[in-house]
Structure 1
C-alpha cells in the first residue's frame, strides 16, 4: 500500500492542514516528504498519522488484500463467463475504488475495468478506458502489458475488426511462447479465425480451447467453443463432427437452462442439415429456432431468410415469397441483415423477371458482398450464377470474368 499518497488523500478530503496533522507526530517537512513518497516512514509514524485521520492502518492493509482477492476472483469469473458473479465482484470493487490507486493493483484494476466494460458490450465507455490506459502503459508490468494488448484484441473483435485482432493474437502467441496463453485467449482467437473464414485455423485453436475448458469444467465456455467448432466443421464439410458438436450443445444448453443460446444452436443445426441435403430436417430446426426468437431481431431475419431460400429451391414459391416479403418490408431498420434484405429482394425480382434479377445481383448484391467481405462460399455461389447467366446469353467475356473471380 502506498501510504504517503493515501495520507494526503484523506487529509485533503477532511480539510486538514499539514501543520494540524503533523502536530506532535512529526515535522511538517517530514510529513510533506512522506505524502510525496520521497521519504520512507516507519510503521508507527504512519499508524499515528492515519489514526489522527480516523483511518485504521490494519484496515488499509486488509483492504489491499481484499483488492488482490477480488481482482483474482474477478479474472476467474470472467474466464468462466459467470455473469451474476462478475457483476457482484465488480460492485464490491467499486465500493473500495477510492483505495485502489494507493494499492499495488492500481493498473490491474483499471485493466479489469476495461475487460468488464467489454464483457458488458459498453464499447464507448471501453474506448475511453482504453485511451486512459494507453497513457499509462509505460508503467505496466509485463503481464499488465500482455493484458492490455489482449483486451485491445477483444475490443477489435467487438468492433468487427477481425484482421487487426488476428494480428495482435499472432504477436502475443509468438512473443509469450504460450506463457500467458489460456482457454479464453484461444477461444477468442478461434472466433477471429472463424470470422475471417479460416475454418482450418478455427478448428485447430477451438479444439485446444475446448480441451482446456473441459479440464476446468468451464461449462459456459464449453458451449461457446462447441458452437464455433460446429459452425467450422460444417463449413469444412466435416459433418459427423459438426453434428456431434450441435447434439452436445442442445443437451447441455437445455441442462444449464441456457435458453438464450438455443435459437442459435437450432439455426446452426439447420444450416448443417441443409449442407447435408437433409432439407426437411433443416426446415424443422430453422422453425424451432424461429419459434424461440423475438420478431424484429437480427437473428430472426437471418433464420427466416434461410427458410425462404430452402422453400425457393424446393419450388415452394408462395412460402418462399412470404419469407422474402417479410424480410424485405420489415428488416430495413435492423442492423446486421442488409445481406438478407438484398438477397430477399433479388429472389422477389427473380420470381417476376430473371433478367432484371441478374442485373440487380450484379449491381447491388455482389458489390455489397465483396465490400462486406462475406464468406467466400456465398460469393462463389453468386459468381457461378452470373457466369452461367452471361454464358447462356453469349456474353463470354463477362462469364470468364466471374469464373476468374472464383479461381
Structure 2
C-alpha cells in the first residue's frame, strides 16, 4: 500500500493546493510526509487514515473496472466532442473521484479536464487547470506526458500562441508511440480542433 497511497496523498495534496506543511500539521513531521509521498516510508494505517481524512479521501478504496470504463468513455467522448455524453460522464467521474486509487488514471482525468474546459470555452477554468497540471507534470509517465503536451498545445492555440502550440504538438508527437491512437488520428484531432 505504501508507494501507491503515498502518490495518491501527494496528488490530492497538490490538487487541494496544500503544502506539505499544511497537510502534515498536527499529524506528522514534514520530512516524514515527504518520505510517505515518495514511497520511501510505509506508515501505519492510523497515520494514513489521518492524512486521508484531512484530504477527504478514502485510503482503502478499490478502483473498480466500472470507474476505469467510465473514464475511458469520457476520454473517447471528448475526442469525438460528443458533449451530451461528455457532460454526463464528467458528472459521474466527479462524484467518484475519491474512489479512484490509480494515480495514473487520476493524472489522465486532470489532464483531460484541460481539454474539457477548452472545448467548453471556459478560459478561466482552463487557465487554472493548466497551472495545476504544471505542478503535477514532473510526475507524469510517458502516456500522461503525451496528453499533457498535446492539450497544452491546444491551450496555447486557443490563446493565439501558435508557435508555442506547434512546438508542444511536436513534442507530443515524440510520445505518440505509447498512445493507442496512431499519428494520423493525432493530426486529424489537431485539424478538427482548429476548425472549431
**2:20 alignment partner in structure 1:** none
- Mark the CA change 1:87 to 1:171 in structure 2 (over 3 Å): closer, same or farther: same
**1:80 alignment partner in structure 2:** 80
Rounded to whole Å, the distance in 2 between the matches of 1:103 and 1:178 is 22
Which runs of no fewer than 5 residues in structure 1 stay unpaired?
A: 10-16, 19-31, 196-227, 229-260, 262-407
CA shift, 1:61, in A, is 1.3
CA shift, 1:79, in A, is 1.6
**1:322 alignment partner in structure 2:** none
CA RMSD for the aligned pairs?
3.8
**1:187 alignment partner in structure 2:** 188
Say whether residues 1:150 and 2:154 are aligned partners: no
- Mark the CA change 1:110 to 1:56 in structure 2 (over 3 Å): closer, same or farther: closer
Larger radius of gyration: 1
Q: Trace 1:302-313 onto structure 2 (pairs within 5 A).
A: none
Residue pair 1:150, 1:168 contacting (<8 A) in 2 also: yes
CA offset digits 1:118-147 (Å, max 9, x no partner): 121111111111111111211110111111
Say whether residues 1:140 and 2:140 are aligned partners: yes
Q: Trace 1:344-355 onto structure 2 (pairs within 5 A).
A: none
CA offset digits 1:235-281 (Å, max 9, x no partner): xxxxxxxxxxxxxxxxxxxxxxxxxx9xxxxxxxxxxxxxxxxxxxx
Residue pair 2:62, 2:99 contacting (<8 A) in 1 also: no
**2:17 alignment partner in structure 1:** none
Which runs of no fewer than 5 residues in structure 2 stay unpaired?
A: 13-25
CA shift, 1:188, in A, is 4.1
**2:22 alignment partner in structure 1:** none
- Mark the CA change 1:172 to 1:68 in structure 2 (over 3 Å): closer, same or farther: same
Residue pair 1:78, 1:86 contacting (<8 A) in 2 also: yes
CA offset digits 1:299-333 (Å, max 9, x no partner): xxxxxxxxxxxxxxxxxxxxxxxxxxxxxxxxxxx
- Mark the CA change 1:73 to 1:39 in structure 2 (over 3 Å): closer, same or farther: same
Residue pair 2:146, 2:172 contacting (<8 A) in 1 also: yes
CA offset digits 1:75-103 (Å, max 9, x no partner): 11112221111111100111122344x43
**Number of equivalent positions:** 160
Give me the TM-score of the superposition, normalised by structure 2. Answer: 0.63
CA shift, 1:3, in A, is 4.9
Q: Trace 1:32-181 onto structure 2 (pairs within 5 A).
A: 36=36, 38-39=41-42, 57=60, 60-63=61-64, 65-100=65-100, 102-104=101-103, 105-173=105-173, 175-176=174-175, 180=179, 181=182
- Mark the CA change 1:142 to 1:125 in structure 2 (over 3 Å): closer, same or farther: same
| Structure with larger RCO (C-alpha < 8 A, sep 6+) | 2
SS of match in other structure, 2:62: helix
Residue pair 1:156, 1:165 contacting (<8 A) in 2 also: yes
Rounded to whole Å, the distance in 2 between the matches of 1:183 and 1:74 is 21
